[in-house]
Chain A
Amino acid sequence: MKHLDFHVTRSSGATKIAALLGIIIILGLIAAPWWAGRADMRLLGELFLYLALASLWNLMAGYAGLVSVGQQAYVGFGGYMLFALTIFGGLHPVAAIGVAGVLGALIAVPVALLIFRLRGAYFAIGTWVIAEVFRLSFAQVSSLGGGSGSSLPVGIVKSLSASRSGREHLSYWLALGSALIVITAVYLFLRSRNGLALTAIRDNELAAGSLGIDIWRTKFVVYVVTAALTAMVGALIFLQKLRISPDAAFSVNDWTAFVIFIVVIGGIGTIEGPILGTLIFFLLRETLADLGTIYLMVLGVVAIVIMLKAPNGIWGLIRSKFDLELFPLSFRVKKSHSSKGA
């Protein structure tokens, strides 16, 4: 007798196809220096860095419920660490990026201890205060140019690669690598035991706490890890810009407002959301950027409408309509045919 059996799985046809397509796309992107022009590569590099920032912000806000409007603190911190470590420490820029991440984590610990005292929306503004403190402090460091900033010396730029195209390729790959590392890290984290705790906190903090999840510790870990990775992305951003100033490094518009719009439009609380959001953001930017301030107002209106009418973003709409998930995260019950008797 044929017996219907059920099993629980994370993967589905869609996730397998998505994984295959993902690998093909990644291979294509790795090969970009051989098929893309200089301007395209620069645009793609920027896109990857925003993708990394958006995925990190999404991990914090969408999963850990830590809505920060002060992530520019770590972007700027990472950028300044890159400059300080290469200019005064004599480190190779790529090594400096890694060290910037470690330092970002170290500084995030006391910051978290302080601002975790604030709840909800006040936490958000507290993060902004921290970013302001960072900005004003770095503006006081005269050896890094004070308020007017400084440029990366030519010798350090040349140490990346002697030729201009070599440098461009390297910084493109670094940007691509950072986006891949961040998305992979977020994905693996969410699949882990901690990730399960985090998802539980996202869905219901009270229930998660009563089941024995240490909410404070879980959020703390997410905050510190996010800070470290954000600092590394920040170092990369300013390795591409080659110039840093307090206002550019700690800009709330560039490193937080855009990132929030990307995540909200794409779909908060999903891995796919920031990816879709980044694509939409760059599409809008490339077509509407000439409009300047109007473009930013349109972006604000779109974000508000999405937040009110479709709080799960565009990916949320797609997912609820087609029950689609590209990253195998949630568990599904599947029918499986088996010949084994009961």
Chain B
Amino acid sequence: MEWVNAIVQGTLLGGLYALFAAGLSLIFGVMRLVNIAHGDFIVLGAYLGLSVTTILGIHPLVALVFVVPCMAMIGYILQRGILNQTLGGDLLSPLLVTFGLSVILQNALLEIYSADPQKMNAGALETASVSLGDLSLGVLPLLTFGIAVAVIAALQWTFYRTALGRAFRATSDNQEIAQLMGLNRRHIFGMAMALALAVTAIAGIMLGIRTSFDPSVGGGRLIFGFEAVIIGGLGNLWGTLAGGVILGVAQTIGAKIDPGWQLLAGHIVFLAILAVRPNGLFPRVSG
């Protein structure tokens, strides 16, 4: 029963990792960009949530109403102002520019909020639980998982059912021809980054309610998100959710064996999958 519990808790944890990963998967799918600062943007989302909740005295989940549009705006400006200039050439410049962004963001957060770990207070939601047979499930992890499923369904719908999604797919397939068909590639990329950071804002708030965070934790979140994307297969959003779940389960089972093994077990499962299935479990596009 303990093991079943570990697997169920790991699955729910996987929802959070899928939220970390969804933005990463989205921008890679649209513009083949890997944002090294992605984890730091998750942490930025958490800090923005912290500021909004302390200033306005509102519940962290209500803070989403402010933080999501705010992050989306940052994403659009960032893409059009800086990142668009790095695309089209070699890999090096987007990689190094986002790496520079990561260092700037981390130190800016350190300067503003100090290195003290912070946490958002979600009141009764944090400790509430429901019983399911012998299992006791936290309402917060359940909610996080539900949000992850909803976010991925919404992204999937946007991709395949809306004009914006069609534009995303068109630019992803062939930038030049999409441009000839009257799509402004720079704007489309801006919209993709806006959408990605909007999802990142949700990830940041859920992270900030679940655990304490400080400016240095971004790198670790990037790695979890990245592992979920690779395990699930590039360009496959539902695969990313599966990847997050596999990672989460690996970590909780690892922690069950030995608390020091939690993170290591996740990384080892990732490397094992990379060795056996280099394109992930459910690949859709090739990198």
Contacts and interface: CB of A to CB of B under 8 A. Distances in A.
Interface in B245-287: 260-261, 263-264, 267-268, 270-271, 274-275, 278, 287
Given A67-B92, A67-B95, A139-B260, A122 B271 contact: no
B153 interface: no
Nearest to A117: B278
Contacts of A120: 34, 91, 95, 287
Interface string A115-146: 10111111011101100110011011000000
B85 interface: yes
Contacts of B85: 308
A61 B96 CA distance: 11
Contact of A252 (B90, B93, B97, B219): B219
Nearest to A269: B92
Nearest to A202: B90
Given A129-B270, A129-B271, A308-B82, A296 B103 contact: yes
A303 B36 CA distance: 15
A339 interface: no
A307 B93 contact: yes
Contacts of A296: 103-104, 107
A124 B104 contact: no
B230 interface: yes
A290 to B, nearest CB: 14
Of A117, A124, A253, A264, chain B has the most CB atoms within 10 Å of the CB of A124
A67 B91 contact: yes
Interface in A201-227: none
Interface string B130-172: 0000000000000000000000000000000000000000000
A301 interface: yes
Interface residues of B, number: 43
B226 A122 contact: yes
Interface residues of A, number: 42
A27 to B, nearest CB: 36
B100 A129 contact: no
Contacts of B2: none
Contact of A61 (B92, B104, B223): B92
Interface of A: 61, 65, 67, 69, 114-115, 117-122, 124-126, 128-129, 132-133, 136-137, 139-140, 252-253, 257, 260-261, 264, 268, 293-294, 296-297, 299-301, 303-304, 307-308, 311
22 contacts: A61-B92, A114-B274, A114-B275, A121-B34, A121-B36, A121-B95, A122-B34, A125-B223, A128-B219, A129-B271, A132-B223, A133-B267, A136-B260, A136-B264, A140-B261, A140-B264, A261-B100, A293-B111, A294-B107, A297-B108, A307-B92, A311-B89
Given A307-B96, A308-B97, 7 more contacts: A129-B223, A129-B267, A132-B267, A264-B96, A293-B111, A297-B103, A297-B108
4 closest A-B pairs (Cβ-Cβ)? A121-B34, A300-B104, A117-B278, A293-B107
